Amino acid sequence: MRAIAITEPGGPEVLVVEDRARPEPRAGEILIKVHAAGVNRPDCMQRAGKYPPPPGASDIPGLEIAGEVVAAGDQVTSWQVGDRVCALVPGGGYAEYCVADARNALPVPRGLTMTEAAAIPETFFTVWSNVFDRAALKPGETFLVHGGTSGIGTTAIQLAKAFGATVFATAGSDEKCAVMRDLGADMAINYKDEDFVEVIRRETDKKGVDVILDMVGGDYVNRNLKVAAVEGRIVQIAFLNGNTAEIDLSQIMLKRLVFTGSTLRARDAHFKGEIAQALRRQVWPLLDDRSIAPVMDSLLPLEKAAAAHARMEEGGHIGKIVLEVG
């Protein structure tokens, strides 16, 4: 099969097409003929040598795919050959064939194309796990997401709004703010023109927001503490501005805040399977009728994986970048 290999740690140019042996499904796994694979920032980190795959995972990048089941290992009863699925995988997505744990696959929503389905797993699993499970966002609460036009951001805005939250989101241009409003954000803040702390404190009568999903880190940490409401929950899932910060602990104590974080890739298949079942119950009906849908930035052929990574790292993308495989 054709697959994208990382020849050495480095920039997008180290991604090359290689011939690889087609994987075989083990017990509990399905083999998927990949139609499309989503591109995510962890793929770029892996390529740069900063985010190695977990033990036992493929060294081929790619954490989410959509395609057709072509084989199943022992003990698989939930899927049959010919089923159209999308799946969260710990690696191996940038290839013509990829194995997935059967528990981490979901049917392609009726309202979506196969290409759109490839843009679902990584962001929807991440947002559900962190915003709704870990931070326990409830209807009627207020929610803030930074990087609101990223794959994570566009997903978080739609899901938070669909489940009854008032949504604040930040981005770095007026164009991106318009997109966030179209997706349902009640307040879109251009962080280059306005201080999100001042805006949110003004708009919430100084109460702040109940849940914050942050991918920035660095100097945003203390600003998130300032804008969090009493009993607020802050979830850190990345740190584009750096992984260290000097924080004012009194904010956490006086407001009784929860400051937490997580990574998903290294969690076991059972944990991810629980998220998959929650998504199927709670979110799949919304995808089936296109009440929500992944926001698509660009579609490139598999052999243009380097260009896809360059697009991701330039930071101008809005929504998901997807590789078309076959």
Residue 4: pLDDT band (50, 70, 90) is very high
- The residue ranges of every structural domain in the chain are 2-120+266-324, 124-261
2-120+266-324: CATH superfamily: Medium-chain alcohol dehydrogenases, catalytic domain (3.90.180.10)
Model pTM score:
0.96
Provide the β-strand partners of residue 211: 143, 233
| CA pair distance 217, 169, nearest whole angstrom | 15
Return the pLDDT at 187: 98
- pLDDT score recorded for residue 30: 98
Q: For the structural domain made of 124-261, what CATH number should be given?
A: 3.40.50.720
Band of residue 326 on the pLDDT scale cut at 50, 70, 90: confident
Q: Could you report the per-residue pLDDT of 137-160, keeping only the tens digit for each?
A: 999 999 999 999 999 999 999 999
Task: Give the tens place of pLDDT for each residue, 178-217.
Answer: 999 999 999 999 999 999 999 999 999 999 999 999 999 9
pLDDT at 318 > cutoff 90: yes
**For the chain, what percent of residues have pLDDT higher than 90?**
98
Q: What is the CA radius of gyration of the chain?
A: 19
For 72, residues 6+ apart whose C-beta sits below 8 A from its C-beta are: 25, 29, 30, 31, 79, 80, 81, 102
* C-alpha 291: how far from chain center: 19
Q: Comparing C-alpha atoms, which of 153, 189, 154, 197 is closest to residue 173?
A: 189
250/209 Cα distance (integer angstroms)? 18
| Distance set, CA 129 to CA 74, 83, 106 (Å) | 29, 26, 16
Query: Which of 82, 91, 79, 92 is closest to 30 using CA atoms?
Result: 79
Question: pLDDT grade, residue 306 (50/70/90)?
Answer: very high
pLDDT in tens, 217-245: 999 999 999 999 999 999 999 998 899 99
Average pLDDT over the chain reads 97
Tell me what pLDDT residue 303 has.
98
The arithmetic mean of pLDDT across residues 99-105, rounded, is 98
Name the nearest CA neighbour of 4 among 313, 317, 324. Answer: 324
Q: Cα–Cα distance between 38 and 8 in angstroms, integer? A: 21
| pLDDT tens digits, 77-96 | 999 999 999 999 999 999 99
